[in-house]
Structure 1
């Protein structure tokens, strides 16, 4: 980093007394200030570089759920990346850590240093406007899906969950209020579609963040190494709470989802503090990109070696470092992540996460009941049609529901200008 050292108090031909500085000295001082500012900006986190990671995390989860199609033309992908895809549930943890990082980066200074109802209300409304419209539409479509399927199959079987979701009016109200997970210890059957439980968990984290921000604000100047260590330590409980690990007793543990969102979200917050204070270490941003690539490769190698999803959960410990490095990445890595298609895909990641399960339902039931014995060609065509449907539905949901509804709800809420540019 450029050091802003005060000039000596004695005058020399090349170093006039500051009080009598002439035009040349003033210009030099401005140049030094501009250089220092530029260098500082280079070391600050850039959450735009994380947009592409949102797409990668969503795609990881989608591939995990698309294992119903692993015997179609997708078979070579599942064979080549089998250990990584088998641990695709970790994509949810990436989302949770990312969420804690981005929310802290965007809102910490606005919500701290003390709790204020107006600021907290603005924050909660902004997050509601982001999450609710697309989710509510998907819940409505799935309600019609269940109304059709319940006459032919049990609700649990029709939803491809071992526990049947609650389709009562109270169950629908809980879905629409995004509190459906809060009333049960497990995630199975909590949502009308499997991965929908994460929306409820994330909503709980958002409601708690204004209080968490009061604590984090007092830690905002934590040394980056200490913050990074805290981000890893806070993940240890959820990393060890997996199946096939000594601490586990076999199978999902009660309220594991609560531990998972709390640990991952808080870890992301500490990761953000580490990244935004990286200049205190004279950290060279040019190393962030290669470091992120190495961290990502190490995660992939570890998952390939671990094989089973249980031990693979330990990979979550690397996520804060990976995300922090990506936020500081410059050069080729940043340029690659800034590709237009990756940025758009990242912005659509929430819509992709919401819609993909419906097309998996379609594939499963159409292949089982209509194409049974029709041969691989018909199955491959159905799989290709469902993948195309996922892509099209993702674009339509984002372009015509998620984004416009978000802007309209923000305007309806009359949010404070302090939150005008928040995501």
Structure 2
């Protein structure tokens, strides 16, 4: 008989997957500003960083599964313990404070630039695209006309997705997923056989996005909504299989977990194509499922569920939002205060120095994210829930660090 997964059981390996995805998205953006001189050279040897934007889809799949695991019973049925509005309040208290803080910091920096008469600078790659010395509040990212949609997490709906904290476009789509979440919960029922139809339709929607854009790099309008909602739905559809531990006998071991981890990394080395993109999404879903049903604690499983993996999972949401701020503001500060140093950095191509720079930026981002997590996110989350009388139930305190994009539940529910 197949073992059942109790509703109260945690899914610990998913935390380290969030951390990995956040770091990869950070490196995807960093290649444009931190080390653009090495971008083409790296791409000639590996397409991993060029395709790393697809790790956002892993976030959406993770979010769908974990939120379903936490709320499937508490949001529906005669014994539901969380109302729709409580659910939205719980989620908003997790994602909005840090988003707002980073937005206000970018707004403050843009105000300083306006007072000092400084224009936009994003490094030599953006300069080669004609994006240089643009007046404050005029773009290419920190546009005054995009502020309204930002404050209401509607930037992707109103075609303002890549503005201000550009990583937050996925929070906009995540918020739409939260709004629609109760309508999608029937997909999590054990006997909802038509969830396979929903999964097929999700892949079809992703195929339509790829056909429209030539890739899944959709961050605005209906393609972004379809992309996020489709991947979120795939995560929801995984819950019945996770609960019943389908194929656990074959997949609950280090070799299976290793293959599940390696397959997406191999696919990400391939040039962008419809087949590659859909295969990658399926492999992400397979990885999330395989990680969710692991119960042994040895070898690779122990490594992923160790202190490092859990720490990266805890700070993954902060890494996701802070790295963009550090890149956008940091390059302009250096261009203002130390232009000779910055010019020297962009003119050198030493592999050792570039690797050192990447390591230092990763360390800085993780340090800021750790301070943010312990010093701002969790205290603010507790404060808002006390003020709004939002009390996480036994189940909603389990999925501690969901990142939908970012953010799953649990200690941080």
For residue 191 of structure 2, the aligned residue among 205, 209, 221 is 221
Q: Which residue of 2 aligns with 1:141?
A: 105
Q: Which residue of 2 aligns with 1:316?
A: 281
Q: For residues 202-238 of structure 1, what are the alpha-carbon distances to aligned partners after superposition, in whole Å with 9 as ceiling and x for unaligned?
A: 111112212322x335x33346xx7567535522321
Whether 1:50 and 2:14 are equivalent positions in the alignment is yes
Q: Which residue of 2 aligns with 1:35?
A: none
Whether 1:374 and 2:344 are equivalent positions in the alignment is yes
Once residues 230 and 210 of structure 1 are traced to their aligned partners in structure 2, the CA distance between those partners, rounded to angstroms, is 15
For residue 170 of structure 2, the aligned residue among 198, 203, 207 is 198
For residue 264 of structure 2, the aligned residue among 291, 299, 304 is 299
Unaligned runs of 5+ in 1: 3-38
Once residues 417 and 360 of structure 1 are traced to their aligned partners in structure 2, the CA distance between those partners, rounded to angstroms, is 35
Once residues 257 and 197 of structure 2 are traced to their aligned partners in structure 1, the CA distance between those partners, rounded to angstroms, is 17
C-alpha displacement of 1:299: 1.9
Once residues 308 and 316 of structure 1 are traced to their aligned partners in structure 2, the CA distance between those partners, rounded to angstroms, is 13
Whether 1:167 and 2:144 are equivalent positions in the alignment is yes
Unaligned runs of 5+ in 2: 122-130, 398-409
Once residues 359 and 177 of structure 1 are traced to their aligned partners in structure 2, the CA distance between those partners, rounded to angstroms, is 23
C-alpha displacement of 1:350: 0.2
Aligned 8 A contact 1:227 1:274 in 2: no
C-alpha displacement of 1:326: 0.5
C-alpha displacement of 1:402: 0.7
Once residues 196 and 128 of structure 1 are traced to their aligned partners in structure 2, the CA distance between those partners, rounded to angstroms, is 14
Q: 1:275 to 1:405 in 2, by over 3 A?
A: same
Once residues 85 and 160 of structure 1 are traced to their aligned partners in structure 2, the CA distance between those partners, rounded to angstroms, is 30
For residue 264 of structure 1, the aligned residue among 206, 227, 231 is 231
Q: For residues 11-56 of structure 1, what are the alpha-carbon distances to aligned partners after superposition, in whole Å with 9 as ceiling and x for unaligned?
A: xxxxxxxxxxxxxxxxxxxxxxxxxxxx545999742110000001
Q: How many residues align?
A: 371
Q: Which residue of 2 aligns with 1:287?
A: 252
Between structure 1 and structure 2, the one with the greater Rg is 1
Q: Which residue of 2 aligns with 1:21?
A: none
Q: Which residue of 1 aligns with 2:69?
A: 105
Q: 1:144 to 1:239 in 2, by over 3 A?
A: same
Q: 1:248 to 1:339 in 2, by over 3 A?
A: same
Aligned 8 A contact 1:64 1:85 in 2: yes
SS at match of 1:153: coil
* RMSD, aligned CA: 3.7
C-alpha displacement of 1:193: 1.8
C-alpha displacement of 1:125: 0.9
Compare 292-301 and 398-407 and name the one that shifted more: 292-301
For residue 360 of structure 1, the aligned residue among 327, 339, 344 is 327
For residue 62 of structure 1, the aligned residue among 9, 12, 26 is 26
C-alpha displacement of 1:180: 2.7
Whether 1:255 and 2:222 are equivalent positions in the alignment is yes
Whether 1:277 and 2:260 are equivalent positions in the alignment is no
For residue 391 of structure 1, the aligned residue among 362, 366, 378 is 366
C-alpha displacement of 1:365: 3.3
C-alpha displacement of 1:364: 3.5
Once residues 7 and 182 of structure 2 are traced to their aligned partners in structure 1, the CA distance between those partners, rounded to angstroms, is 27
Q: 1:78 to 1:342 in 2, by over 3 A?
A: farther
Aligned ranges 1:84-163 → 2 under 5 Å: 84-113=48-77, 119-150=83-114, 151-153=117-119, 163=140
Once residues 373 and 212 of structure 1 are traced to their aligned partners in structure 2, the CA distance between those partners, rounded to angstroms, is 51
Once residues 290 and 240 of structure 2 are traced to their aligned partners in structure 1, the CA distance between those partners, rounded to angstroms, is 12
Once residues 385 and 104 of structure 2 are traced to their aligned partners in structure 1, the CA distance between those partners, rounded to angstroms, is 22
TM-score if structure 2 supplies the norm length?
0.77
Aligned 8 A contact 2:81 2:393 in 1: no
SS at match of 1:109: coil
Once residues 256 and 197 of structure 2 are traced to their aligned partners in structure 1, the CA distance between those partners, rounded to angstroms, is 17
Instruction: Kindly indicate whether structure 1 or structure 2 has the higher relative contact order, using CA contacts under 8 Å at least 6 residues apart.
Output: 2
For residue 181 of structure 1, the aligned residue among 156, 168, 188 is 156
Aligned 8 A contact 2:141 2:166 in 1: no
